[in-house]
Amino acid sequence: MTIDQFNFAGKKAIVRVDFNVPLDENGNVTDDTRIRGALPTLKKILADGGAVIMMSHMGKPKGKVNPKLSLKQIVPAVSKALGVDVKFAPDCANASEEAAALKMGEALLLENLRYYPEEEGKPVGVEKGTPEYDEAKKAMKASQKEFAKTLASYADCYVMDAFGTAHRKHASTAVIADYFDADSKMLGLLMEKEVQAVDNVLSNIKRPFVAIMGGSKVSSKIGIIENLLGKVDKLILCGGMTYTFAKAHGGQIGNSIVELDKLDVALGVEELAKKNGVELVLGSDCTATDGLDFGTMTLKPGSQIINCPANQVPDGFEGVDAGPESQKDFANAIKGAKTILWNGPAGVFECDTFTPGSRAIGEAVAEATAEGAFSLIGGGDSVACVNKFGLADKVSYISTGGGALLEAIEGKVLPGVAAIKGE
């Protein structure tokens, strides 16, 4: 069943959306990309004459109520985007009355799913690897099914449209599908577009294929990096992981972020790239500072900013962006590409002082796209970069998923997709 084939007239549809959007200190949405991404599916349901119940997580409350992560804060933004006065249910697991009262053409948003540990299905307060954990895991799986069954009871049909969480077998992304017949559960329009975009990268590769991987840790990206080394022609590694590579070669990195237990992994990546004939591009220099307040993403009074080799960062300084030479190297590596995948920024772009590295990548990707490349941008930070620099309409496709996108490109089956297809 596809959403285009389904008529929602007279039906209540519960839709798993990804409204895990960034908020400022006053609870205002600072980037509504994910909300806008869900609109085609939500509007299709309402236009058919159905009612829509939206469910999502926000942040990592770890099974506890956290007002700072309440979805109530985004009701005005969702109402404005959808063009409907969105109602709110303050408890996602006890929303039967709100769901029952919902009339056709109306919309309801449930409170943060992750206020309940059953959503993720992980035992709480028990040490992993112990007999107690195994028992607790069994009990939690049973509770997760009940939680999913409760969510399913609110509606007549289920739509999975949260690509950003499709790689998780959570109550709302996969388990809930068990409580709907094959002809009343389907992927949303956004999910269909996401799956197609991944297919364009994997099954329709036009060369040269350039991948850009940023972010702070090698460990979180090692699986996709190794997988990409069997597919790409060039791989640009930037962001915080730069300093793990520099340290692996005995470099001085000051206070820069580093994974000391992954130095051998970094060297292994270099060896694999060489073995596969992949051009590995690492930042040769960086912009470093001794005074960035990561809490506010602002510079402290009297802060110093320097440009230096990435393997010669002075004590007391921290690398926070790609330097001028790295920016040129990255842009040159992207030039002429026909397929581009970008996941992760080149620096702490949230601070305006340290945007040049990520901007250089974004502009090079936009230029290559204008010359005919297919460019896929994925991951919250990369999407925020593209939007911040006004480049969203100059790339081929912006994915709402980070981890899901990477796992799909790794070739892994996404539970959120498999649950709909009955795999």
Catalytically active residues, by annotation = 34, 217, 380, 403
Tell me the β-bridge partners of 340.
210, 375
Reduce the DSSP state of residue 171 to 3 states and report it: coil
Alpha-carbon span 187 to 286, nearest angstrom:
43
Helix or strand (DSSP H, E) at 87? strand 87-89
* Residues 198, 405 contacting (CB under 8 angstroms): yes
Report the chain's C-alpha Rg in angstroms. Answer: 22
Q: Position of tokens 């939007």?
A: 387
State how far the alpha carbon of 277 is from the alpha carbons of 207, 267, 271, 274, 343, in Å: 14, 15, 10, 5, 22
Alpha-carbon span 176 to 89, nearest angstrom:
19
Cβ within 8 Å of residue 410, ≥6 positions away: 223, 224, 227
Q: At what angle do helices 189-203 and 33-48 cross, to 10 degrees?
A: 130
Cβ within 8 Å of residue 49, ≥6 positions away: 8, 9, 10, 104, 105
HSE-up of residue 346 (Cα within 13 Å, Cβ side)? 33
